[in-house]
Amino acid sequence: MRKITLAQSLCFLVLLFSACGLGIGTTALLLGGLPLGDFRGVVLVAAGGVLIYAFAIALHRAFLFFVPLRPGYLAPGSREEFAYHVYLLCYLVLFQPLTRGLFVPVPLMRVIYLALGARLGTNSYSAGTILDPPLTSVGDNCIIGHDAVMFSHAVEGDDLSLAPIVIGNNVTIGAKAVIQPGVVIEDGAIVAVNAVVSKGTHIAAGELWGGIPARRIREAGAGPDRRNSLRN
């Protein structure tokens, strides 16, 4: 694992303190003069927290607009490595509590992931964790089961690389499944509960995959009704 440099840490701190300053200042400007009664402190702290996160997400997205995450191998000392480490600090310090540390309703989690840069189609929801939202694309009518994990980064010793995850329409990912970098899942496919889909795997339309590591269990159109395929 590579060391995060001082320059990367300072860039993150600039984003963090900017978000805090903007959030606190906006709270004071909008609510500071209102007669909030006995709950004034609670209202101001809650509003300040929401606005700090809103500005943090906006600044985070602006940073990635100018220094986007690039799929592929990230060379040490490169611009791509710099962008990823700043992104990583933002995610671990600011956004991981939203996606993993707190109870957040699934519909609200969809909004958070969209704000963080994930591409989620109509009627697609995640009850699991998307660790790299800017590198994750999900089509329409998909469900990511409870405690499933999707990540688009690979850290192997000193090697660091990124590969996007692309999921089609009407895909089901079972609870506690793991989807690794570079996985492509076509329309109508199913990933079974607890399956581990290895890096770079391509799952064709309508197939059922399961196991550790995941293997094709059934081809498209074969076997019993898919709606009953995962029942025990």
Catalytic residues: 153
Sign for the pseudo-dihedral over CA of 228, 180, 188, 100: positive
Q: At what angle do helices 79-90 and 40-66 cross, to 10 degrees?
A: 160
Rounded CA-CA distance 85/104 in Å is 26
Q: Which of 9, 163, 147, 8 is nearest to 74 (CA)?
A: 163
If you search the block for the tokens 């059934």, which residue do you land on? 218
